[in-house]
Structure 1
């Protein structure tokens, strides 16, 4: 009888605690106007930088712990920021072409978090599914969260997404080579 009363008391205490602190999580929408996605690509003779606009995005939290996220990028906004005039126009046009991101046929890219593990007080290692040109591949990167801001940087192997122009793996001359990996740096506000 004492065991039953103790069990009932524990069930009531823990049951009430669970009801007072549900673990449903909270989805926080990203402010696409103030958030920023920049890219940097490298070639034998230098590099280029640019931006891409977030179309939508959200981070998911359980209390103050990151548990998930999903983002859509408007690929039609990809552009260079380190060039001006005709050079900028030519490179921007080339990035939109089938040699690179085929933005007319593939106007968006997505990233969906599949696994989030805490790696420090405000930092996490994230694995996600990145889709570019309709091709989905896993990526792993670190993200840091401070209040209502988050920062992440990741390397992307463009050849996995059928972006092979200028790759030495696919016949480009060494002196004209564009490296296969490019960097994305993401600054989010939510």
Structure 2
């Protein structure tokens, strides 16, 4: 069993079973549509977070034709841009284990800076002889900044899909030897 001198020292890899990248967007002006990308890889090395999610791993509880539409050029263009990536430029943990992470988010080949806030659970021994930490982050983005522009007009005015999307990242991190 290893111990970590500082909460951000060492190398931690995301446990793929307990990690995901989720999104939520207002649909039809009233409902909240949610989905996840489950094929997530991430590494936190000495305070630098790098991660990626496979677009094809999107889990949406809808008919296959809708899933195909979300993977198409109208949304993620998964055939041309199979991954969503993030590379941090800053990782700040406050004394109360709140965290702010800044970095570059790439969707559809377009990279933009983002800031996410959340919680950090410092490394501790787990039941299997490993050292684990946990990172939960949330941010809001405007999907049109990444050229995810599809929409449809509503009969009462407005559009079917909001531009504001909430992203939530859950990373169960296991220290590497």
Shorter-chain TM-score bucket reads 0.7 to 0.9
Q: Which whole-Å CA distance do the structure 2 matches of 1:120 and 1:42 have between them? A: 34
Between 1 and 2, higher relative CO (CA 8 Å, sep ≥ 6) is seen in 2
3-state SS, counterpart of residue 32 of structure 1: coil
SS of the equivalent of 1:106 reads coil
1:62-84 superposed Cα distances (whole Å, 9 cap, x missing partner): xxxxx220001101111313x4x
Does 1:78 find its partner at 2:58?
yes
Q: Which runs of 4+ in 1 moved over 4 A?
A: none
1:187 matched to which residue of 2?
A: 170
38-47 or 105-114: which moved more? Answer: 38-47
Q: Per-residue displacement from partner, 1:123-163 (whole Å, max 9, x unpaired)?
A: 22111100000000000011311142221112121111111
- The question of 1:104 aligning with 2:79 is answered yes
TM-score (norm 1): 0.73
Give the TM-score of the pair, scaled to structure 2. 0.78
| 1:150 aligned residue | 135
Query: Radius of gyration: which is bigger?
Result: 1
Structure 2 stretches of 5 or more lacking a match?
A: 124-132
Deviations 1:43-67 (A, max 9, x none): 2142211110234211133xxxxx2
1:95-174, aligned counterparts within 5 Å? 95-146=70-121, 147=123, 148-166=133-151, 172=153, 174=157
**Aligned residue-pair number:** 155
C-alpha contact (below 8 Å) 1:30/1:56 kept by paired residues: yes
Deviation at 1:37, TM superposition (A): 2.0
Are the counterparts in 2 of residues 54 and 71 from structure 1 also a CA contact under 8 Å?
no
Verify the 8 A CA contact 2:38 2:59 in the aligned structure 1.
no
Structure with bigger helix share is: 1
Q: Which residue of 2 aligns with 1:178?
A: 161
1:103-135 per-residue CA deviation (whole Å, 9 max, x = no partner) reads: 011100100000122334212211110000000
Q: Quote how far apart the aligned CAs of 1:25 are.
A: 3.5
User: 1:38, CA displacement in angstroms?
Assistant: 2.0
The answer on whether the counterparts of 2:39 and 2:57 sit within 8 Å (CA) in structure 1 is no
Deviation, 1:98, is 0.5
Alignment partner of 1:42 is 2:11: no
Find the residue that maps to 1:48 and give its secondary structure. strand
The secondary structure found in structure 1 opposite 2:96 is coil
* Contact 1:39–1:182 under 8 Å retained in 2: yes
